[in-house]
Amino acid sequence: MVRHNVYFWLDPSLTDEQKTTFEGGLRALFEIDVVARGSFGKAAATPVRPVTQNTFDYALVLEFQSVEQHNAYQVHPDHDVFVKEFGGWFKDVRVYDTQF
């Protein structure tokens, strides 16, 4: 299994309506055939500690049954649509992939 963790820092000038549209784009990624499971959320309001990073706006978590399925997702046309549609809204993005 591969867990694909993506952290988004969005352009602070985005409206609430644009953020809702962005959330719809995240949900659409769950429907890609090679995605086993998906979820997203916002940074939790947990106490600040030296090891905590909670400045991101959204975190996306996708799970794949294999590295091959993850790799297929990366070149899937629907993934490309998401990047083209929303890429201009990202101030920064970080990806952490883990294999279990």
Taking only the tens place, the pLDDT of each residue in 79-88 is 999 999 999 9
pLDDT band at 93 (very low <50, low <70, confident <90, very high): very high
For the segment 15-66, what is each residue's pLDDT rounded down to a tens digit?
Answer: 999 999 999 999 999 999 999 999 999 999 999 999 999 999 999 999 999 9
Supply the pTM of this predicted model: 0.94
The set of residues, in sequence order, having a beta carbon less than 8 Å from that of 94 and lying 6+ positions away, is: 6, 7, 56
Domain 9-94 has CATH 2.60.98.20: no
The residues spanned by each domain of the chain are 9-94
Secondary structure percentages of the chain, helix, strand, coil, to 5:
35, 30, 35
